[in-house]
Amino acid sequence: MKRKVFTNGCFDILHAGHVDLLRRAKELGDELIVGINSDRSVRSIKGDGRPFNSQDARRDVLLGLRSVDDVIIFDEPTPDELVRRVIPDILVKGGDWSVNEIVGADFVLSNGGQVLSLPLLEGFSSSAAIDQLTGNGEQNHSEKKSNDIVGNSISEHIDTFRIVDETLRSEIQKTGEIIVDTFLSGGKVLICGNGGSAADAQHIAAEFVGRYETERRSLPAIALTTDTSALTAIGNDYGFEKVFARQVESLAREGDCLIAISTSGNSPNVIAAVMEARRHGARIIGLTGAGGKKLASLSDGAILAPSTRTARIQEVHLAVIHIWCEMVDRAFPQTK
């Protein structure tokens, strides 16, 4: 019987690093199946303007590689359902993903398969290539701005929210509906994040448990950032990476929702909480910034604030939080 190897990705800009990874993946078995995100799925992960190449074009290019035997397009946010259909013997991702961050790993391991994170070929990056081609790389703010801190900040804020208005309306609506559906179905919302995002987690929970603008019944929401005894005990006994995941393990149930906040999209303890929530059947909403592709690709819905500056990202997150609260208020009857 042929040993099936499976990997997945967007593969929007194919480069030598991808080719090398796929070649080494194929060498692990007899047949390499590649799952690629549909155009709609790519947009939800990487934002408007992506992909550069259509799903059919990306599929054709991958099928032109000797190492690739089949390419399957999936429309879901993650390849979890596809992995369960393919039932691979070996599940592979690139070295920027640790084994415990790979979607479908639990399923493959439970079937006696292997899950591997293969080192990436150095010097190749889709993000770096795109930045070089589009001129969107990090710029020296002092070279392009005046010394007017107030004016610069306000202008940057307005520009960021203009992009939000143009590109994120549907994703804000989608994520808000996930929250509303969670409460209407009798589920609860868990929220986690670090630093300023921890404050946002508490803010969200307070709005749902207390109230936003209308009198309605209290709704079950828990910020996983507030119990100092749990945080310090878990951090001391298991390490800081587990401070949220351990709480999710005890609290999350199928039908619940985890709002995971990370401005970078790479916070290890937030990603660990996401993976634990997925294991319990909870839906995931990611709140991140323009570079938060990892968190977005693990979420059922994600808001990628169109900025790389933490201040602007957090300002977008706060506005989105308030929109969600308004959607929740409208979904529940007012009480006297």
Q: Tell me, what's the pLDDT at 141?
A: 42
Does one domain contain both 85 and 186? no
Instruction: Please give the order of strands across the beta sheet that includes 70-74.
Output: 70-74, 31-37, 4-9, 90-94, 114-118
Query: Does 227 reside within a domain?
Result: yes
Does one domain contain both 288 and 188? yes
Query: Does 142 reside within a domain?
Result: no
Does one domain contain both 174 and 250? yes
Does one domain contain both 269 and 184? yes
The structural domain count of the chain equals 2
Work out the average pLDDT over 139-150: 64
Query: Does 138 reside within a domain?
Result: no
Query: Does 177 reside within a domain?
Result: yes
Query: Does 178 reside within a domain?
Result: yes
Does one domain contain both 178 and 36? no
Q: Tell me, what's the pLDDT at 131?
A: 66
Query: Does 139 reside within a domain?
Result: no
CATH number (domain holding residue 173): 3.40.50.10490
Q: Tell me, what's the pLDDT at 260?
A: 98
CATH number (domain holding residue 23): 3.40.50.620
Q: Which residue, 112, 128, 144, sits at the end of a domain? A: 128
Does one domain contain both 225 and 106? no
> At a CB cut-off of 8 Å and minimum separation 6, what does 298 contact?
78, 101, 103, 271, 274, 275, 278, 284, 286
Does one domain contain both 115 and 221? no
Does one domain contain both 160 and 60? no
pLDDT surpassing 70 at residue 138? no
Structure tokens at 250: 């005890």
pLDDT tens digits for range 303-317? 999 999 999 999 999
Rounded Cα gap, residues 328 and 307, in angstroms: 27
Query: Does 327 reside within a domain?
Result: yes
Domain that holds residue 33: 4-128
Does one domain contain both 221 and 327? yes
Residues in the chain: 336
Does one domain contain both 289 and 159? yes
Rounded Cα gap, residues 51 and 102, in angstroms: 22
Query: Does 140 reside within a domain?
Result: no
pLDDT surpassing 60 at residue 140? no
Work out the average pLDDT over 57-75: 97
Work out the average pLDDT over 139-147: 54
Residue 164 φ/ψ, nearest 5 degrees: -55, -45
Burial class (CB in 10 A: 0-12, 13-18, 19+), 129: middle
Q: Which residue, 94, 112, 128, sits at the end of a domain? A: 128
pLDDT tens digits for range 207-226? 999 999 999 999 999 999 99
Residue type at 225 in one-letter notation? T
